[in-house]
Amino acid sequence: MKICQSCSMPLEKEEDYGTAKSGVKSDDYCVHCFKDGEFTQNITMEQAIAQCGEYADMAGVTKEEALAYAEKVFPTLKRWQCTCTDECASGYNPNCTCTNPECHCAEGNS
């Protein structure tokens, strides 16, 4: 089963998928996380994990189980993995394609 690469929601139906700016369905993200080519929330992975507890009932698990699952799975999801190279570690890589909001490679040095 395919899951959202931001929140791990199962992507089972066409309407579960988020959209690119062009309106084309995203292969990686759900409608709750990705709309019109942008993430719907500018949050850290830790903040996203904390939100999982709010959806425990919908998933049929306890809040503790939801948080434990998120802590294990989220670091493996595309949104939260930094694809930066050593070049980015210097603080500037305008070609960085990382989707982690904590990555600031393309911002340059201030």
Which sequence spans correspond to the domains of the chain? 1-41, 43-76, 82-110
Token pair in block for residue 2: 């395919």
Q: Which residue type sits at 29?
A: Y
Token pair in block for residue 7: 């929140």
Q: Using one digit for the tens of pLDDT, what is the confidence trace for 46-75? A: 999 999 989 888 889 999 999 999 999 998
**Cα–Cα distance between 40 and 97 in angstroms, integer?**
18
Radius of gyration of the chain (CA): 15
Model-level pTM? 0.76
Q: What's the mean pLDDT in 80-98?
A: 65
Look at residue 109 in the predicted model and tell me its pLDDT: 41
**What is the DSSP code string of 39-93?**
ES----HHHHHHHHGGGHHHHTS-HHHHHHHHHHHGGGSGGGS----HHHHTT--
Helix (H/G/I), strand (E/B), else coil: 28: strand
Kindly state the DSSP code that residue 10 receives in the 8-state scheme: B
Cα 80 to Cα 14, 57, 61, 62, 98, distances in angstroms: 24, 24, 23, 24, 9
